[in-house]
Chains A and B, each alone.
Chain A
Amino acid sequence: MRRLTYHEPESLKDAFALLEGHGETAKLLAGGTDLIIEIKQETKTPDHLISLRCIPELQDIDYSNGELCIGAMVTHRMIEQSKLIREKFSLLADAVDNLGSVQVRNVATIGGNICNGAPSADTAAPVVALGAKLVLDGPAGERQVNVEEFFQGPGKTALAAGEILRAIRIPTLPQGAGSCYIKHSRRKAMDLPLLGIAVIIVPDDNMVCQEARIALSLAGPIPFRAKKAEAFVTGKPLSREIWEQAAQVAVSESNPRTSFRTTADYRKKMICALIPRAAETALRRVNKAWMKG
């Protein structure tokens, strides 16, 4: 019979000590919406669970000096309800809107979502598009890693033994930017994406693309920026046609897989179908912001 010891440290320092003390027999527990299932299925078999829920500095959303800083233990529900994120980082709000259910969003955290390294993580493509930096803290001190470098393979991340993700730092988007994330899934709730598409665009006054960022999840083993497609649209007028062509370029950069959930072929078709739609919504949001301003 498996016995688990549950720890609830109240400071990072105590958490580090526990991590060090129990080594590989310990697992960090954030919301637990994945880990607890894995423990029940015995695909993960820790002896110690170190919960991060009582560590105050991991719980806040902070916006200052042109930077959004989200604590690792911030729940998806908090993100969903943050007006600031919905206005200034719309694609992140899109990502949590259809994640699981309200009950799941109440406990699941952004830090857990990222540190799991699951290809299907809903926040992965948005944070990649946002160029987030992850603040990793450990006994050896703090370091910052670009989120793109953090994801190393399905279930594999740059988080070293003994380290804890403290926060996700996201630089403010350029003036006049619009963004959108589309989760393509079969159901409207309690589902994983078959494909995730995050688009950020910055048009100039003549609707010519100054900057474009396109991040895809489930289009390959890890979330990535479709750099060629980004380069393709940059400097071009933002028409549907251009985006359709950019989507084709993005497909050439992708390497989705066939699983029992869907086929690689269908995922590629969805890249083509959905990049223009994400761009359209992002652009509409730019215009809305202008109208407001």
Chain B
Amino acid sequence: MAKVLEPQIKDGQLLKIGQRVPKLDAWDKVQGRTQYIHDVKLPRMLYGKILWSKYAHAKIVSIDTTKAEKLPGVRAVITGYNTPEIRVGFIKDNPVLKKDKVRQYRDEVAAVAADTAEIAAEAVKLIDVVYEELPGVFDPEEAMQEGAPLIHEEKGSNVLKLPWKMLCGDVEEGRKKADFIVEENYTLPFVTHCCLGTSGCIAQFHANGNLTVYSPTQIRYLAQKDFQDAMKALGLKGKRVQVIQTAIGGGFGSKLDTYPFEFITILLAHYTGRPVKLVYTREEEFFASPGRQPVRAKISQGCTKEGKLTFRDVDMILDNGAYTSWGATTPSVMMMPISSLYQVENIRYVAKCVHTNNIYSTAMRGYGNPQATFAIESQIDTLAEKAGIDPWEFRMLNRNKPGEITPQRFEIGSCGMEECLVAVKEKLQWDEKRGKGNGRGVGISSLIHVGGGARIYKSDGTGTILKLDDYGKVTVLTSASDMGQGSDTVLAQIVAEELGVEIEDVEVIMKDTNLEIWDAGAHASRSTFVGGNSALYAARKAKEEILEFAAGMLKEPKESLYLRDRMVYSRNNAEVSMALDKLLRAIHFRTNGRQVVVSEFYDPPTVMLDREMKGNFSAAYTYGVHGVEVEVDQETGHIKILKYVIAMDVGRALNPMAVEGQLEGGCAQGLGYSLMEELQLDKGKVLNGNFLDYKILTFPDMPNIESVIVETIDEKGPFGAKGIGEPPLVGSAPAIANAVWDALGIRIRDLPITPERIVAALEAKKGS
């Protein structure tokens, strides 16, 4: 059973927590010292390259690798026919090298290892593959129809056997109670993470048969398990797999699963006996790295005359693409806003994931939440409008409150939704600006996300090993991962606070499965909460040990002692003090001496969702509100963001600068999702796989973001903090859609909200 310890906030104010500490990795990054996978070179290393499918759907008639094998410098050419089968994905429907048929353009047909990357690239072009094209299906609804081409014949249907369903209360009863009901359809596009660092890894086998994989993964330990499974296929069962995490050049969920390219690299390393590196080009990153799944949502909600929500009913179809990765499980997170954003008793949610010949999807920041929240929060406005109630008042009336238990049985502890709503209303000058309909408008959207980990796996734990050396320096070996969100900095702050040292005294290492304890990965906005508690309790253990010894040495009761400013002091006696490093040496250099080394494994007090998809799977919940003022050019359809406010209940801002960074970064990504991002596919083929045509916001496009940090000091969080990694991007799109509605009376129900869509909607409005 997990434990909950009270944070000890004693001896006056916090010294390191709450400080604006610049990210510790920032200087290395801007000076080019950070070692990304692209920079790592091992002795005798070869370079791998993948041959991708030429068709969205085709039979493989034959593969001839003779010419490629003859190219000087080529060390191995592998296909599904000369390697043991390895399947990836949580339902293992994705063979890493395709045999018999291809199901999408990103299918891996063959791969090469060569002395240089250039030779490898040349060699894959020399592989002759004969295909027999098959009719494809690119629309999930068409894929569901009788007689549609089957993507996986053995499955018997294109609909995945993952019938996502959640029922709470009685939706029919809720419909009867409603005085107003709105039913609408919303669609959300395929978007992708746009990590600046493209995907890649290095696989290296050792003489003893053990494997080391260098990878910028977000899930060192889950990846280790996947690679471990693959070792069986290579006849290396029982050998050790070590994952060394290189600096992550952007994750955003893209590195939350393992993918064929990683296993192909392992195969190439296995057959050549040499380390092999395989890194995607930018073009490959666009079409061969899975993105966020497109969603079609049908949603209806109802309310009473007074504006109380009576029911919420949502049906969704997700384009799963050709194979199954975590994208197929995003409905489990969509359930969270559907069940627990605002108080609504009667809920029905059904989602289907459907195979198509499009490229497949995985996790992406928000994990389904942005799609669901776009539908819910856009419709809150249309429902409020129908009921004749101010949308802000409507939200206040239905808001979540601290201590409530939601229909999905989430135990909401701290909840600053009201404070966020009030702050955004004021900053946006809601009452003055709203309802003009003159091309300028304001819109808001609330959001909920997990803020205390999420028990997706049986363990949601993170481990910490913490040691202090003879010089008062602290080393923290944590299994958490930093991918730019600032975990390393925040963990250092937590440990420095607890041990009374400076932040620069703390070195945080997050790197190597051989060194650290297990962790569930950097997902679900959990690193600060779970990794933070783990580090905090480890530091507390070390502190206890140090104070215990100090008590004997200084002849003061242990309870009177405390650590601060690299010293130990006594509350009882101002004369008594000792430098920490001196104390540590005293503990070490004596008969039966020891060094202070402790370990901690923190697993939050939560449960997995049950068969009905209910249960308190996170130890805390984060709430926030986006508010935006827009000006819409009625001729060109261009949206100008005049003001952008985001208020977020973060529990406690351990590092307000890092919090603001997360809020602004989330808004940038959310604005891209709202206004311009869309991976365009033509019969399964990516049309805009480059940064010119796949548009993310540039700096000049980015409006100023006004961040409001609401602190509710969560009793379970480290020093009261909750996770905020994902939430900042969740509510952007509905806030903008609602502002556009306020500006012009047009409702855009499809993302992105492009100028073309605005112009078309204005025309339709004029016509009607």
Contact = CB atoms under 8 A, between A and B. Distances in A.
A1 B118 contact: yes
B122 A1 contact: yes
A262 interface: yes
B118 A191 contact: no
Given A186-B676, A189-B698, A262 B122 contact: no
B697 interface: yes
Contact of B701 (A188, A266, A273): A188
Nearest to A263: B756
B122 to A, nearest CB: 6
B755 interface: yes
Interface in B659-709: 676, 680, 682, 687-688, 691-693, 695, 697-701
B636 interface: yes
A269 B699 CA distance: 28
Interface in B697-724: 697-701
A188 B701 CA distance: 6
Contacts of A260: 680, 682, 687-688, 693
28 contacts: A1-B118, A1-B122, A101-B698, A184-B636, A186-B676, A186-B695, A186-B754, A187-B695, A187-B698, A188-B698, A188-B700, A188-B701, A189-B699, A189-B700, A189-B701, A190-B698, A191-B695, A191-B698, A192-B692, A260-B687, A260-B693, A261-B693, A263-B756, A266-B756, A269-B635, A269-B759, A272-B635, A273-B635
A270 interface: yes
B755 A186 contact: yes
Contacts of B756: 262-263, 266
Given A186-B676, A261-B693, A262-B756, 16 more contacts: A101-B698, A184-B636, A186-B695, A187-B697, A188-B701, A189-B700, A189-B701, A190-B692, A190-B698, A260-B688, A260-B693, A266-B759, A269-B635, A269-B759, A270-B636, A273-B636
10 closest A-B pairs by CB: A273-B635, A188-B700, A189-B698, A260-B687, A189-B700, A266-B756, A1-B118, A188-B701, A260-B680, A190-B698
Interface of B: 118-119, 122, 635-636, 676, 680, 682, 687-688, 691-693, 695, 697-701, 754-756, 759
Contacts of B122: 1
Interface string A183-199: 01011111110000000
A128 interface: no
Contacts of A190: 691-692, 698
Interface of A: 1, 101, 184, 186-192, 260-263, 266, 269-270, 272-274
A142 B692 CA distance: 37
Given A192-B692, A260-B693, A266-B759, A187 B701 contact: yes
Contacts of A188: 698, 700-701
A92 to B, nearest CB: 21
A191 B754 CA distance: 15
B676 to A, nearest CB: 6
B635 A187 contact: no
A184 B693 CA distance: 15
B124 to A, nearest CB: 13
A78 B543 CA distance: 63
A1 B697 CA distance: 36
Centre residue among B119, B687, B756 by max chain A CB count within 10 A: B756
Contacts of A270: 636
Nearest to A41: B283
Nearest to B73: A1
Contacts of B695: 186-187, 191
Interface class of chain B by DSSP? loop
A191 to B, nearest CB: 7
A187 B755 contact: no
Nearest to A194: B755
Nearest to B763: A269
Nearest to A98: B700
A150 B659 CA distance: 55
Contacts of B699: 189
A264 B229 CA distance: 53
Nearest to B116: A1
A260 B682 CA distance: 9
Contacts of B701: 187-189
Contacts of A273: 635-636
A105 to B, nearest CB: 14
A244 to B, nearest CB: 11
Nearest to B700: A188
Centre residue among B118, B691, B693 by max chain A CB count within 10 A: B693
Contacts of A191: 692, 695, 698
Nearest to B676: A186
Nearest to A189: B698
Nearest to A100: B692
Given A184-B636, A262-B756, A1 B119 contact: yes
Nearest to A40: B281
B636 A274 contact: yes
A261 B756 CA distance: 11
Contacts of B687: 260
A184 B687 CA distance: 21
Contacts of B759: 266, 269
Contacts of B635: 269, 272-274
Contacts of B698: 101, 187-191
Nearest to B699: A189
A218 to B, nearest CB: 15
Nearest to B752: A186
A124 B635 CA distance: 24
A213 to B, nearest CB: 23
A279 B688 CA distance: 33
A103 to B, nearest CB: 12
A22 B754 CA distance: 48
A279 to B, nearest CB: 14
A187 B676 contact: yes
A266 B118 CA distance: 42
Contacts of B682: 260
Contacts of A274: 635-636
A111 B687 CA distance: 29
A269 B755 CA distance: 11
Contacts of B693: 260-261
Nearest to A262: B756
Nearest to A2: B118
A266 B763 CA distance: 12
Contacts of A101: 698
Nearest to B634: A273
A269 B634 CA distance: 11
Nearest to B756: A266
A121 to B, nearest CB: 14
A4 to B, nearest CB: 13
A184 B119 CA distance: 42
B286 to A, nearest CB: 13
A191 B697 CA distance: 11
A189 B701 CA distance: 8
A263 B755 CA distance: 11
A2 to B, nearest CB: 8
Nearest to B119: A1
Centre residue among B680, B682, B701 by max chain A CB count within 10 A: B701
Contacts of A272: 635
A245 to B, nearest CB: 16
A192 B692 CA distance: 8
Nearest to A101: B698
B212 to A, nearest CB: 30
Nearest to A261: B693
A272 B755 CA distance: 15
A266 B759 CA distance: 8
Nearest to B759: A269
Contacts of B755: 186, 266
A156 to B, nearest CB: 22
B71 to A, nearest CB: 10
Contacts of A261: 693
A35 to B, nearest CB: 16
A273 B763 CA distance: 14
A262 B119 CA distance: 38
